[in-house]
Structure 1
Amino acid sequence: MGVSLGVGVGVLCVVLALLCLLPVTTAGEIKKNGEPFMYKDALGHYPMPFPGSVSSMGLSGDLRMKMLVGMCSEDKVVRMCRPRRSPLQNDPAPSKRLLAKTAVEDMKKVMVMEMMSNKKTQKKMDEDPMMVAFQNTVIDDGEEETAEDLQEKVKEFLSISGIDVLLPLDCGKHPRMPEDPLGRGKYPWVAALGSHEDGRFHYRCTGVVITNYHILTDADCAFSPNINVVLMNVTDAPHPDAVVNFVAGRRWHPEVKGEEDLLSGNNIGILELALPIQFNDDVQPVCLPGQFETPDPNEREQATIVGFSIVDTSQGRQAGLFRWPDSPTLGAAVCYSAIRVFRGENPDEKTTLDSILTKNHICVDQRFEFVGKSVLLRVDDLTGRVRVLGVGGVANAAKTNPIAYTHVQPHRFWVELVLRKFRDNLLPRRRQG
């Protein structure tokens, strides 16, 4: 269902390049008085709150029901067919015990889905030590088990599985810019994904390095057979100094079974590389959110968007690295409320993004045609290391601001399961070698 989104891309990239050189005004009033953030509060403080509708992207039909998932000509425009039935609420923060209990239950669900997605592992579910440990776990609804007890059980599961072996502990560093890792320059964790065609490189997606064998990206990119080349250490792709690798395997979330599922908050995928990456000052793994952290649906913070602008030339589709620092980020519940308030005050502006929002989404106050397929990064205040916050952004075609990214943290356990399978498949090959 490819619909061309390439109209005016060359002009857009020039504008984008100029905009990236300008300082971005931050919205310090986002947390004003601790009240739930609404976009109307940001008017006058942030330069682009809910800009006007975009009508020059080559689309037709009911744009309110169409969702953008990329900017390249082969990217899909997904039609939204199943609006959510229940609205997100600004609920009070759950207790630590409830969070730990929910983490155990979510792990069980993901474990079953992942094993059932592979016919070879379906019959071995009763033999898997981690699956047995999960099935034998009884979560008491009383208060006998504390949050710490449940967290210890989860740690036991992780220890039994050994899935944390491949996730680097020394992650999120920028050896060349330790004081300002997300300042202007190269980003050692970011990769340009594309293909070699007739000796030319064609850019398509953005990803981040998470191990010396794996790139995290969105499910749409992981699924695409057109992505087979990974370039790292680049501000421009292609570039003679790029570290080049090749795609050997692809995985995407087991709940993504069709185009519509790219809007479900599970738009996340992993590319397995043919050759191990040698980490150095120019190529590093990014950090993932912690297993026991829980996304705040009422979040009102800031993050940095990193991606590549594109230009189609006779030498292929070339890409230039860009960043949008200090981009306001909103938890799913706040984003839902903000869109509904804005729509009530501006009835002529059409958007249906609130109809797809789930607890696995995080919104960013930027326009999709400026960032396309990109990743959301944030520096951890305690460690100073860079984490990947979101991937797989989507936006309403009628109004391309805000963007809803798939939150990475809820999928941390699925990522570890994929690494576990990779490790189990890799060890026999090493023994044979």
Structure 2
Amino acid sequence: MELEFTKDETAFRDEVRNFIETEMPKDVAFKMAHDRELEKEDFIKVHRKLYEKGWATAHWPKEYGGADWTPVQRHIFGEEMQRASLPMPLEFNANMVGPVIAHFGSKEQKEKFLQPTASLEIWWGQGFSEPGAGSDLASLKTTAVRDGNEYIINGQKTWTTLGHFADWIFCLVRTDPTAKKQKGISFILVDMKTPGIEVRPIITVEGNHEVNEVFFDNVRVPAENLVGEENRGWDYAKFLLSNERFGIAKIGVAKQRMQRIKSYAKTPDANGEKLWDDAVFRARFLQTAADIKALEITQLRILAKQQGHDSDAPDPLTSMLKIKGSELQQATTELLLEVAGKDSESPQIREIYKSGNQDFEWLDAVASSYFNNRKLSIYGGSNEIQHNILSKAIMGF
């Protein structure tokens, strides 16, 4: 069942589909559709095309290049990009630091950073998590000590996604060690070329280099790079994380993956059997499809609620999107792995099964995608922490 759109919304969807079909790089879409690791240039190619169209930061305030999209248009754009197996505009730029600078940054920071952030002339990294401060982010220990017109930063960040590509990094740092832990944190912007910064790769369980450790050893940063007020960084982080958790749902990715699962499950194996004929598998597939539809409707409800309200106040319901969205991403990779079965492990078996134009190339990265998606219930604030947020904010526990 597809959601019904108005005439204008349908026209907008058709415009997005046409732009994707005619302008978006097909090689990047192929990589994503087959769970291949994207290179830096792949992200840049897609982001720059969207920037030239005015769609990379369409949800930003209009005075900073936003397109004044409605919640439904934002949903349609995300769904169509994910349906076409294309990466969204770079998350760190479009949904994280860009909106923070637009809402809380100084006039000088807006003039210096917003345009190159929107165009991806600057690639941003996220310096939040630390070895002892992940979901309990307020326990962070990286310090920034004021020294005249500079801050001196010392400490370590970890799980810095694509940090090896970053030109700048936005960091949460402790500027008042005597204050309550949430009250002594500041939000600061750091040039990655600054002396004293070291980036070390972390190789994840599926063998990819996606995340990193970042070390700061007496890194001197101009005080003018402080965003907003000193010791107010926790407020800005909550605003940012609300945007991050909304994006984690990735409903379009789940729906696209479900189409692939159904197609592959209906393909006969070497014995002429189809997994789709298995009633238990089919029931799991249909339950997952129903859950995806329910989450999609919930996301639209939350977007509609946010429209016209003070966007500085994060909606705790985004925690629900994060919880269920990550669970459904994992559920779809589990179904895909079940469809692949032993074929995902043995090139020799795949060669025996291959016949005619049957495409088994998708099998190469199925197991890798499955293992990589285990992280979804942890990053962006673990699902256990999100349950706590919901219980406090909505049920009053």
Larger relative contact order (Cα-Cα within 8 Å, sequence gap ≥ 6): 1
Which one has the bigger strand percentage? 1
Which one has the bigger helix percentage? 2
